[in-house]
Every structure is written in structure tokens, then in C-alpha cells.
Structure 1
């Protein structure tokens, strides 16, 4: 059986499920090396302004090690925040047949990529896009740097169309790219008789005082400039002036724009505010609404995995052209809506025309489309690339 070493900063709620799935399938022996040892239990999220401890298991079902991080300022927001003198030694002790690295812009990750290049296949997983590029000298210099970085990569697992374009622009060739779509644990969002998500969400809606039949928009995320939560509130207010039946808006989260958002919301009868909700509550969060909105202007909205979660919950989405996964996830006017990030009038127009009946149909289409983005597809892409073992069919 081939052995795969994976380097990642810390346990992430979107990656741990497919690590576990790969280990369970038994086609590849994997071991994950976590380089931000200080984040073993919780991650200090500067934007949310709180420590985040996910309420789903992230270290079960697969082999892993935490490598000591000696950085004086540990964190995943700067190059020297991840400094692991023992990383290469620990990876070598595992004797892997290939190395998969998540992110290059950390001291130890880049050092490991350079060290193992030419010794074993070095693979890369990232979701960067070209959507936020502005041109000029800075972009040209960054292009040169990135082309140098990716010379140490034998293959990259790209998450979607925008990410593929990014890799091609930075020197990787078509034959070096393997499609492994961004995905969430769709099964977590699947409704069953035992879970009763729809009924529980409806009860929650009643408790909040939102009329049962009122078309409701959900925003769930960080209250920060790049996500434009204030723009969404303004658009809802504008749209409701032209609607016979007003739209309700539920804002879920926190962040540096807390006060701005609360000030805007408190003057409106159709806006509700809720705090950050953990993973076990998210299937209910999306079902509180008729549609989920991700109005980001960037930079850095490289995919928008909340879209996957909403669609897996049978809810359509409204997202901007600056959300990296839009080209893959959004079928315009079929399962969701897309508008230009700086055209608030386009968002208002979408909101003005929303109807519960149409959204229900679009939600069913969204659910069907979400089935193309699965953990199984990621795992099978990796298994097929490492080769050398009999690949089992997905059950």
C-alpha cells in the first residue's frame, strides 16, 4: 500500500472528514502532520474576535502528528508563523511515497516542498484565484515569485475553474493538474426522520418571531468589509420598499463590523441578529431561510464553502462574481443567482423578485447539483494519482 504524508497547519472542519474517509477506505496509508501545534484544540480567529473550537471531531479516524512550532509569533497569517525544525525529520520517518502540502506561504511548508522535490512526488492543495488581481508591478512580481514556488510542485489538486486558471497562470501545465473539487460533508446536512432538520428549523423561526411563510434571506459569516454584510442590509431595505410582502433577513456571526451591522439592523422590523453558530447547528441555520446570500467583494473569497453547505441543505444561494466557486456551483436562475459585486442595484433587483415557490424549486436543483461536489471525489482523485493500489468504488 502506498503511503501519503499530508502537511497542514491545523485541523480544519472541511479537511478532516475526507482524511478520515481516505483512512477508512484503506487504499492509501496516510499520516497528517499538523504544523501549528498551538492550534491543537482551538484556533484564535482574529476576525471573529474569539477562540473557535469546533463541536465536531476533527482528529478521529486517521493518523496524525502535531509537529512542534517554535515560532515566536505562531499563526497561519504570516510566513514565519509556522516554524517546525523537526518537520522534515518526522515526515521522513514515515517514509511516504508522496507528499501533499496545504499552502506554501509558511516557512516550514515551503522548506519541506523544496527538500522533498525530486525525492518523492510533491503535491499541492490550495484554492487561490486570479479574481482579486489588479495588475501593475506588484502583480508582476508576485507572478514571478509564484512561478518559482510552483516549480517544486509535481501535481496540484485544483478545486474548480477559477483555481485551475490560477495554477495555469503560474507555470503549472495541464497534465500536472488533477480535479478534486472543494466539498463539504454533504451527509452532515442531509435531512432524515431522526434529524428532522426542516421541522426544527421551522420551530426556531417561530421562536424568533419570523412569520412562517415569510421569504427569508440568511447571512452567516464574519462581519467584515470583504463580505459586505452592510451592503446586504441596505439592499434588503431597498428591495422591501418595492415588495408587497417584505423579506426577512437573519444575520448570523460577528466581526469588526459588529457595531455598524447592529446599528443598521436595530432600526428594521425585518432583520434578526444571531451570534456565531457552530457546525452542529449549521444544517438548521441554512434551513431558517429560503435562500443564502454571500455578497462578498473580496479579496480572498477563494471559494465560499458556505455555498456547498447551503445547497446540500436544499437552499439556493445569491453570490457575487468575486466568490471563487461561483462558476462551478451557480447555475444562473436554475439553482442560484450571481450578481456583480459592485452592482448593488443588481442585488436589489434579485431580492425584489424572490418568491417562495421559485426558491423551493431552485433549492431542489441546488441539492442535486451539490451531489457533484463530494468528499468521495476528492479522495478518489488522490487515490488515483498515487496509484499502485486497487482503488475501491465509492459505496
Structure 2
């Protein structure tokens, strides 16, 4: 049964983790997605690359790219999205509900403020309160965020840490609806790898591969993983570093080791093969609101090692499928690496547990959460 709503969705640009949700929602309700960053966004600041995703992101739902008058188009700067006609265009659509992805963009903040009290506002964000802040900064932030979230009818929380964050800034339990972060579990579970990575890198199937895949930035902390691995001299174990970013060139030149391998940024169609090539996925981030790469690695059936500053750890990383280490603590990271790489058979078992755990974190459950919010 279709829900009789007109849902306007506000998002900066097409994102591979959101589009499948838009498609499913479009099957049961009138929907239009308004992209605020404009058509020109392709440069990814973290990867330092112009990226065109090689999976379709503009099919199966109605959308419109709003004109962005910002001097510098950006999805990472508050004034990177300025859409003078946004409110009038959204009014013409005449929505019963508006779902806003993130408030830290000028246009999103303006839309939230304008339509609050006129249209029911749903909010989607994955921030956490894991990072410690100076007391004065924390107080200022609390005042601002309490005001912002007072304009919201319901927030769609991604997991435990995100729920706590919303409650900390004034939202009540009856305003919070679970809509888990998700990836295309089936696509990452596919074992028909198009890239024969182990063969290309001359790594035996009997050997263990630890994988880092992401942006080579300070906050993602790839250097600590490289330093820990280089200092351990683990037998029959390789480290595969996949991605790009401002630290990439320097790290490649420093860590030249027969068991450390670097691959450049891989597009979406290649990523299942990247995950399938490893036994253990490591996310050493100093800060990460969620860490969707962990969803992907778990869907691929891999064991997980992540820092305690990765938001999804409270929900997804258990003793059955991996370990958590103290962020930025290289000694703790080394200890966990030694324990986890002691047995390839154990890693395989933990990877199977990952696959079971992640099945509940899917697009269908996220859509149900959004539909639940629309029906209130």
C-alpha cells in the first residue's frame, strides 16, 4: 500500500549509499530529491581526485539539481552550497514532509529554518559525541545544536552512538527512529571478483592480507597502520593499502616493503574484489562518524579491526567478528594485529560472523524506518 505523502529530500549530491534508498522510497510514495551542490561536483577533497562513480546514481527516482551560486562549489564547506531559489522550488513541489541530509550546509540550514513549523521535518545525520572537546566549545556547540534540532520533528538515527548524540542535543526518544546505515550487502558479498588482486600482487591464498581502503588523510590515520605493520614483521602476512589522498605519495615512498602493497583509488565496481582479496579489514581512524567501509567489508565476509573512534563499532564490531583498539595507540594496535593474524582459519570464522551480523543492516530496514517516520 502506498503512503500518501509528498516527500522532498534535500541532499548535496548523488551518493551511492543513499540512492538505493531513494529508489525504494519512490516505489511507495511521491518523492523528489533536490541536490544542492549543483551538477559540477566531482572533485573529492579527501581522495584529491575528480571522481565519476561507475554505478548508476540517477535512475529510478525523480530529482532536480538546484542552481548553486556559491563561489566555490563544495560539499565539505558550509558556504559551498548556496541555492537562492531552493525554498521557492521546494514550495512548488508542495511536500508534506522534507527529509534533510545534514544541516552543515548553508542551503540545508536555510531550508530547515524556513520550512520548520510549515512542513514536517525529518533529519538524517550520523554525527557522534565520541570526540572530546574543550568545555567552552562544547557549551557553544550545545546551544547551537539544541536550537537546530528543535526545528526537527523526527531524526533518523544510524546506530547507538548517533542516537546518544541526538538525545544529548535535545531530541526525545519518541522523536528518534532507527534507520541503520547500510550498503548493498549482496554486491559486496559477491565472490566473482573481477580483479585477481592476490595473483597480481603474488600473494598466496594461504597467506593473510590486512586491508586498508579509503582516503589517505591524517584523520583516517593510514600511517599508524603502516608503522605498526612495518614494526611487527608478521610472518605470512601482507598489508594492502588501497586509495588516494594528500598523504599517499609520501607514504608510498617511505614504506617500500616486500609485504606492503599500494593500489590507487578503485571505483565502486572494483571494490567488492578489493574486499574479497583480504582476510582482515582495518580502519585506524582518529575520528569517523560511522565508517561505511566496515559495512562493506563485513558484507564481503571479513574480520574487522577498528579504532574506538569509529562510530559503528558499538553496533557492528563484536568479539565474534573482530576487535577494537584504542585510537592513536600504536602499541594497542600492534597487540590486536598480532592476536588477529595468529590464525587464518580464525579470521575466516570471524569473517563469517561479520556476514551474519551485517545482514540486519540493510536498505530495506532503513526504508522501513523512514516510512515509519512519514506515517506519524
Within 2, Cα distance between the matches of 1:118 and 1:138?
29
Q: 1:370 aligned to 358, 365, 369, which one?
A: 358
CA distance in 2: counterparts of 1:18 and 1:135, whole angstroms: 37
Q: CA deviation at 1:190?
A: 2.6
Deviation at 1:236, TM superposition (A): 1.0
TM-score normalised per structure 2: 0.95
- Paired position in structure 2 for 1:392: none
Aligned residue pairs: how many? 371
Deviation at residue 238 of structure 1 after TM alignment: 2.4
Report Cα offsets for 1:182-209 as digits up to 9, x if no partner. 1111121132xxx623xx56x3211211
Match of 1:251 in 2: 241
Aligned position for 1:263: 253
Q: TM-score, normalised by structure 1?
A: 0.91
Superposed displacement of residue 269, structure 1: 1.1
- Residue 217 of structure 2 corresponds to residue 214 of structure 1: no
> How many Å separate the matches in 1 of 2:266 and 2:375?
40
Quote the offset at 1:226 in angstroms. 1.1
**Per-residue Cα deviation, 1:240-285 (whole angstroms, up to 9, x for no partner):** 2xx4x2410011111111233112321x110111000000011100
Q: Which runs of 5+ in 1 are unaligned?
A: 389-395
C-alpha contact 1:236 1:247 (8 A) present in aligned 2: no
Shift in Å, 1:154: 0.7
Stretches of structure 2 lacking an aligned partner (at least 5 in a row): none
1:28 touches 1:383 (CA, 8 Å); kept in 2?
A: no
State the Cα distance separating 1:165 from its structure 2 match: 0.9
| Aligned-residue RMSD, C-alpha | 1.4
Does the Cα contact within 8 Å between 2:127 and 2:165 map onto a contact in 1? yes
Alignment of 1:39-50 (within 5 A): 39=40, 42-50=41-49
CA distance in 1, matches of 2:106, 2:211: 38
More divergent stretch after superposition (132-141 vs 322-331): 132-141
The superposition leaves residues 52-81 of structure 1 with CA deviations (integer Å, 9 ceiling, x where unpaired) of: 110001110001011111111221222221
Mapped partners of 1:182, 1:302: distance in 2: 11
Q: 1:344 aligns with which of 330, 337, 341?
A: 330
1:11 maps to which residue? 14
**2:224–2:328: 8 Å Cα contact kept in structure 1?**
no
Q: How much has 1:239 moved relative to structure 2?
A: 2.4
Does the 8 Å CA contact 1:184/1:375 hold for their aligned counterparts? yes
1:37 aligns to what SS in structure 2?
coil
Secondary structure in 1 matching 2:219: helix
The superposition leaves residues 121-163 of structure 1 with CA deviations (integer Å, 9 ceiling, x where unpaired) of 1110000111113232112111111111111111100001111
What is residue 305 of structure 1 aligned with on the other side? 292
CA distance in structure 2 between the partners assigned to 1:105 and 1:346 by the alignment = 34
Secondary structure of the structure 1 residue equivalent to 2:255: helix
Please state how far the C-alpha of 1:385 moved relative to its aligned partner.
1.7
Contact 2:46 2:245 in 1 (8 A): yes
| Residue 149 (structure 2) pairs with residue 147 (structure 1) | no
Shift of 1:2: 1.3
